[in-house]
Structures are given as C-alpha cells and as structure tokens.
Structure 1
Amino acid sequence: MTMTKEQADIQQAFTERMDEEELLNCMRCGFCLPACPTYIETGFQEKHSPRGRIALMKAVADGLIAPDDDVEASLDLCLGCRACEPVCPAGVNYGHLLEEARDIFKQHRKQSFPVKQVRKTVFEGLFPHQKRIRAATGLLGFYQRSGLQKAARKIGFMKLFPDHLAGMESVLPKVPTMKKMKQRPAYLPADHEKTAKAAFFSGCLMDTMFLETNDATLKLLQMAGCEIVIPTAQGCCGALHGHSGEKEKAKEMAKKNIEAFEQTNADYIITNAGGCGAFLIRYDHLLKDELDWAERAKNFTRRLKDITQILLELNFHQRIPLQLPTQILTYQDSCHLRNVMHTYTAPRTLLQAIEGATYQEMRDADRCCGSAGIYNIVEPSMSMQILDHKMANAIATEATTIVTANPGCLLQMKLGIEREGLSSKIRAVHIVDVLLEAASKGGKKDTLL
C-alpha cells in the first residue's frame, strides 16, 4: 500500500496516539447501531456507525488502510452525540477515540491559507478571550437594534446565503446591550437560609448571547438557597477546540478554568449548557497525562453538576410553587447532558412538577437534534435531515412548548419550528427560563440582585 508523506505521518500518529486497549474494547456487537443517527440517516452504512468508525481507526493504526479522505469524511460526519456510549455493553469511550482521531487529522493535514486564517481567528483570536466574544456579540446586537437587520431582510440580502444559515439568522436571540453584558455579578447571596455554596460556570456565548438564561439560572440557584460565586477569571470551556482538532488549546483553557474555580471553595460547580458541561466533566481525561494537573482536574469534575440536577437535589420543585398557564410541554434531551453527564431524570421531574402544564414525552427525545456544536454549519444537509425527523416527533406530542437544556439545541429547535411554519403555535425555550417563569407565576417574582 502506497501512502503520501502526509498520510504516512497521520498513520504513524494513529499508531502512537490512539488508545489500543480502547480500540480493542469494541466487540463489534452492533448495540450502538440503532442509537447512531448518522448510521440510520445514511441508510445503514457501516462506515457511518460507531463500530464502523472504530474499525477504520484501528485499520489506520495498524497500517491496513491509508488515512484518506474517505476515512476523514466518515469521522467528520459523526455528530459526536455519544449516544453509542450508554448502550455499549463493553463501555467503549467512543468520544475519546473520536476526538483523538480528529485531532490527529487536523494537526497533520495541510490546510489552505484561508482555512488556516479562519481557524486561527476563531480558535486563538476569539473564543479564548471573553472580552472579544462580548465585542463580537455587541456587533450582532448593533445589527439587530440599528435597523440593519430589518433592512437586510427587506431587500432580500439573506437570500444570498444558504437556507440553513438564513434560517439561523432569523432565530438568533435578541442580544443584550454592551452595558448589560459588562455588568456581571461576581457574588450573589442566597434568597433565604443557605443550603449550599455554588460556583457558576457562566460560559462564553451563554454569558453574552444567552445572558438572560444565565440570569435565570442564577435566580433559580438563589431561590434554592445557594450562595453563588462567579469567578471572573473563568473562560470558554474549550469544547469547540476539543471537538475540532485543537486539543492543546483546549488544555490551556481547561487549566485556566480549573485555576479560577479552585479559589472559590464551593460545594458545587454549576453549568446550564449541556455541551459545556460534557466537556468540563472530561477535564480529568483531557489532563490525565499531566502530573501537575491530573488530580486538580479530578477535583474540578467531582464538583460539577448541571443546574437541573442541583435543583432536584435541593428539592427546589417541592419548596417553590411552580405554575404555568395551561399548555403541553415536551423535552428534547441535550445529547451531551444525557450521554456524558448522565442527567436525564432531573429535567423531566422538574417539568412534571409544574402545575397547569401537561408533560408529554417525545419519541426519541434522546436522539440528536442535529445541532452538535457547529455541525449544522459544516454538515448542513445531514443536520437538516436529522432535524426534520426530530420535528416530526415533536409535533406528534402536540406540545406548544419544546424545552431543552443547551443553547445549540435551543437554536436548532427554533430553526425547526421556523422551517415548519409553526412559530405562532410552538415555542422553544431553555429549561431554566421555563422554571423561572413557572416559579414567578407560582409565587412572588423577585429581581436578580
């Protein structure tokens, strides 16, 4: 078998870096097949299944096949939803293998100058710097408030973009003012007798574009009796880097966050975004080979909880009256929240505790919606195909409110509603916003600070 130098370098890296024991753990039993969205959507193509991709990784590592474009395409088409992991009888950590393989390809592939510049701008120039994310979000806010958005839509400017991108523009949340984005609290007292001390992971986009959801999260924690600290030195979780072949940069960001939260002496570290939480809880794996950081990373992940889990443990739904006008609620799982953080009972229990609302379970609620970080941008065809099936299941519940627990999922479900022409009948909302709405209806509405 003849390989180019680039392919030989990739193959050598696979041999050196891929976890041989983990690759061999896959027994090819096929339990993962019914759980894999891309396997189903591609008409049951084995190369687009978890066991098929693992077989490709093993074959590359063993030098049996060349790491060509087809192998990379198979890896790139994977959503990374990790629905295969809970159903795997051997407990294969597929997500770890996928990220390592993608990192190897990205580190050794020659990229065009424009691609290099875009990656450098996004991964080095933007996301590691919260002030720059705030400034970029501020530009979006100016676009929305200045009249440019209305003008762009009126003259048909958005028609120049692919349908899925034009659709995403239409469902973006209203961005808060720059003044409000800058005035973020570093400490909040409990509303009543203290039950716990919580350190809040505010995130990057969550604390700008989705700032109202962060505020709702903080208010719920206060109502639950939590004293809250919000470390000012924290930054982006690094998930986008880790999933996109920028592993070393992800490690840098992980270390920054670990240092920031070590100073809080909090009982818990709370997150409200499934995608962020799933990467944060893997800091111990990300830094396992670094002696100075391995134990510190473990201490970080031990304290990490999703907002719904801590609310359930503090009996929020039993202590705070929850009420909404008559409506049907359904819940769309965040893949990473369910499959990596193993949080799926808590959000359902909280929603079912809301008086006046009826909870209706969605068929295949645990199957990916097609958002998967930036997947709906880089793999739009597959993403929209998956979304269409998700919307069919959502509509079948007759729900008027679709609840989820991750910003990417939220935008994807909003896009699905828009594509179905149901914006006047169905809304998509983050679970903390629903819970605060229910708590405000059921009791006295308080301010954040």
Structure 2
Amino acid sequence: MTESSFDAHKPPPRELLDDCVHCGFCLPTCPTYQLWGEEMDSPRGRIYLMDLAQRGEIGLEGAFTQHIDACLGCMACVTSCPSGVQYDRLLEATRPQIERNVPRSRSDRLFRDAIFALFPYRRRLRVAAVFGLAYQKLRLERLAQRVLPPRLRATQALLPSVRLREAFASLPRRVPASGERRRRVAMLSGCVQDVFFHEVNAAAQRVLAAEGCEVLTPRRQGCCGALGLHAGREEHAVRNAKRTIETFEKLAVDNVVVNVAGCGSSMKEYGALLDDDPAWADRAADFSAKVRDITELLAELEPRAQRKPINAKVAYHDACHLGHAQGVREQPRAVLRTIPGLELLELPEAEICCGSAGIYNLIQPEPAAELGERKARNIRSVKPDLLVTANPGCLLQIGRYLDGDVPLLHPVQLLDAAIEAPR
C-alpha cells in the first residue's frame, strides 16, 4: 500500500473523506467555484485532492496547496450538502498538514508571520492604531495604492477609521444586571474587536445587562486562537484555546458570550481541537458547551427591556462563521425583529461569502476583491438604509466595497440604539 502524503498527526479521517458522494449540491454555494468554474476549486474537488493525498497518489506541494489555499473556509458547502459531509473538519485537518510539511516562499512566509505577530495581540494592535491614525491623517491611501504590492494594498485598504480614545478604552470588568438577574455570563472582548470595534463590545455589555444578564469581562483574556485554527496554525490555536479556557473556567457563569462570529465558531470547536489531549479534552468540551453568540443568547431570553421604534430598512448579512459554521441563522433575525418599525431585508446570494474569511482577504486579495464587489452589488440591489452583520472582518470587507454608500453596524449596536440602555 502506498504511504500517505499526510503525516501521522490528525490527518483528514478516511471515514469523512468517504462521506462525499460528489453529487455537486455544493457547487452553487462555493465562492471560488462561482468565480472560476474550476472543479479542483470546489468542495468536492478539494475532497478528491485530499483523498488522493491520503492514498499517497499526489504530494502536498504545488497544485494541492494552491487549491487548498484558495478555499475561503466559509463552510457554505456544509450547509448545502445533503449527505452531511463535514468539510469543515476535513479542511481544518488538511491546512495544518500544509503548514507543517510544505515550505512556503520567503515573502509568503514573512507576510503570514507578520499577520500572526500583530493581530492576536491587543497591545501591538494599539500601537498599530497610532500609526494607522497618522497614516489616515496624512492621506497616504492614494500613494499606497500606486506603490504597494497587492497584499499590502489590501491590508491598508481594510484599515478602519481609527479612533484612539476607543482603541485604548477599557471595558468594565463587571456590569450588573438590570432588575432581576436571569443569567450570569462572561464576555470575550476579542483582539481586533476590542481595539477597532470597542463600541460593539460596550453595546454588548449594555444590551446584556438591560436584558437581565450580569456581565463579567476578564481583563487578562487574550486571543482565542480563531485565526490560527482557520489558517492551519495548530500550535497557535491550541496554545490560545488552552489559555482562553483557563481564563474563563475560573468564573462561575452560565454562558460565555461572543460577539465575533469567527471567534465563536472556534471556541465551540475547542472540544474537537483538544480531544486527543487527556488533560484538556473534558475541560474543552465543557467550555465549548457554554459558548453562545450574543444573538443566540438573546434569542433564548424573552425580551425584557423596552424597545423604541427604529423605522428603517435593514439588510442582514449572514457572517459565514455564524450562519454556516455555527448554524445560527434565525436567532439574529428574531432578535432584530423585536425592534418596532424595523423592516428586515434578505440579500440575493446570501450564502456566498463576502471575501473576508479570517485572513483570506489579506493573503488572497484578488478573489477577495471580486467577492467583495459582488456582495456590495447584492446589498445595493435591495436599497437598505443600513446593513448589519455579526463579524468585524465582514464589516471591514463589506465597508471597503460599499465605500460609504450604506452605513454598517453590528446587530447588537442596533439593538442598543433601540433599547437606549444607560451609558
């Protein structure tokens, strides 16, 4: 028997590879297949490549890595598959194999290393925010578009409007419940979320408190490991998962609340990530069972706080790691419908990713740009007054291609405005 091209550490399981019957139901929802029409850039094509590598018939370098790298990991195929193929588990088993066994070019390696040296660290992000503000004040964007290579052009184009007061602000460690306490929860504040979207975290604390939740936000929490998990950097994901579990399991809470779709998806997968570690498997599974997206938690609670009307047409964009990966679709819509006067609009091609996908829009800027423009066209087509979505990467990516045409908010910000929670 030919030796597998995968190493022995958690290769894609044979039983999951065999689940795919190559029916093609995934093709209409796969962003890269929609862009290029290339079989090997579809989910079933990538599973075929994994199968060949597992049998030792192809190596991991060259075309194999190219087609796996091109995948956004949006998991739309998981939602659309009638056979229940767990492409998410297959992809998250395959990407670490590439990172361990395939040498990358020097420029590619350095760029990826730079991402992981910056984004998971709030202190470094705050320093970057200072330079970002200077960059924006000096209006260097046009110059950068002319002289920077594509990846760095994409990076600077995604830089949000920097407000140093928010970038350096701290969240209260404890916010008491308004009225009778219904839940005691701990909140992940995130990395990019806490520095560049601090107002979302603040709104989340206020809304949860208004709905009867005591909110604890540990000061010493760090990166949850989501970027590493989705990019195949298993060591980074495991290290940060363990630290996150240690931080939150000390707190006697009912739930751990997340307002970032990508982070929530990863935290719900800690049980699978650490299932081969006897010292952590049960702790990880117990932790993951407590994790809730904020809209998921709010949908579990009967609305208590009074809402004032917001008369607006609001388009809701399903963040892939909320809708496809977590299966949280109706809950955000149900929560938004508790706001009087609000008309919720559905988007054409709602299942197609906006092109953000963790670090995808940084390392694959050209297809990410095509998907961003496609998403912006679909949003404009329904003529909304504003758009809401539950992930900072989506807010940055869609905001870039809407170019100010439509205001963007996290759902909890809209709910906060309707509740008029005390500030």
TM bracket, shorter-chain basis:
over 0.9
> What RMSD in Å do the two structures reach over aligned CA positions?
2.4
Which whole-Å CA distance do the structure 2 matches of 1:296 and 1:116 have between them? 33
Query: How far off its partner does 1:95 sit?
Result: 1.4
Match of 1:105 in 2: 98
Which whole-Å CA distance do the structure 1 matches of 2:394 and 2:103 have between them? 32
Q: Return the match for 2:147 from 160, 163, 166.
A: 160
Distance 1:102 1:14, change over 3 A: farther
1:29-178 equivalences in 2 (<5 Å): 29-43=23-37, 45-123=38-116, 125-144=117-136, 147-148=137-138, 150=139, 152-153=140-141, 156-161=143-148, 169=156, 172-177=159-164
Query: How far off its partner does 1:112 sit?
Result: 4.3
Q: Return the match for 1:340 from 309, 312, 325.
A: 325
Q: Return the match for 1:331 from 316, 328, 332.
A: 316
Segments of 5+ residues of structure 1 without an aligned counterpart are: 1-7
Match of 2:306 in 1: 320
Provide TM-score, normalisation by structure 2. 0.92
Please identify, of 355-364 and 114-123, the stretch whose mean Cα deviation from structure 2 is larger. 114-123
Query: Is contact 1:328–1:359 with CA below 8 Å preserved after alignment?
Result: yes
Q: Return the match for 1:274 from 261, 273, 278.
A: 261
1:164-313 equivalences in 2 (<5 Å): 169=156, 172-177=159-164, 181=168, 183-313=170-300
Distance 1:319 1:183, change over 3 A: closer
Provide TM-score, normalisation by structure 1. 0.87
Match of 1:3 in 2: none
Query: How far off its partner does 1:395 sit?
Result: 1.5
Q: Which deviations, in whole Å up to 9, do the C-alpha atoms of 1:169-225 show, x marking residues without a partner?
A: 466433343686253322111122211001001111111111111111111111111
Q: Which deviations, in whole Å up to 9, do the C-alpha atoms of 1:109-167 show, x marking residues without a partner?
A: 223455444444443x44454333333334324544xx33x3x25x7444323688657
Which whole-Å CA distance do the structure 2 matches of 1:166 and 1:128 have between them? 21
Query: How far off its partner does 1:34 sit?
Result: 1.9
Letter in structure 1 aligned against 2:253 = A
Distance 1:72 1:102, change over 3 A: same
Match of 1:5 in 2: none
Q: Which deviations, in whole Å up to 9, do the C-alpha atoms of 1:49-93 show, x marking residues without a partner?
A: 111101100101102223331111111111100111122233222
Query: How far off its partner does 1:323 sit?
Result: 2.0
Distance 1:162 1:113, change over 3 A: closer
Identity %: 36
1:4-23 equivalences in 2 (<5 Å): 11-13=5-7, 17-23=11-17
Query: Is contact 1:327–1:400 with CA below 8 Å preserved after alignment?
Result: yes
Which whole-Å CA distance do the structure 1 matches of 2:12 and 2:125 have between them? 34
Q: Which deviations, in whole Å up to 9, do the C-alpha atoms of 1:229-287 show, x marking residues without a partner?
A: 11223211111112222101210100000011101111010000111111111111100
Query: How far off its partner does 1:338 sit?
Result: 0.7
Distance 1:14 1:68, change over 3 A: farther
Letter in structure 1 aligned against 2:368 = S
Which whole-Å CA distance do the structure 1 matches of 2:331 and 2:166 have between them? 35
Which whole-Å CA distance do the structure 1 matches of 2:120 and 2:237 have between them? 9
Q: Which deviations, in whole Å up to 9, do the C-alpha atoms of 1:329-357 show, x marking residues without a partner?
A: 11110001011211111111222332233
Query: Is contact 2:33–2:39 with CA below 8 Å preserved after alignment?
Result: yes
Please identify, of 208-217 and 155-164, the stretch whose mean Cα deviation from structure 2 is larger. 155-164
Distance 1:54 1:196, change over 3 A: same
Distance 1:118 1:76, change over 3 A: closer
Q: Which deviations, in whole Å up to 9, do the C-alpha atoms of 1:387-419 show, x marking residues without a partner?
A: 22222221221112111110011111111211x
Task: Tell me the matched-pair count.
Answer: 422
Distance 1:28 1:114, change over 3 A: closer
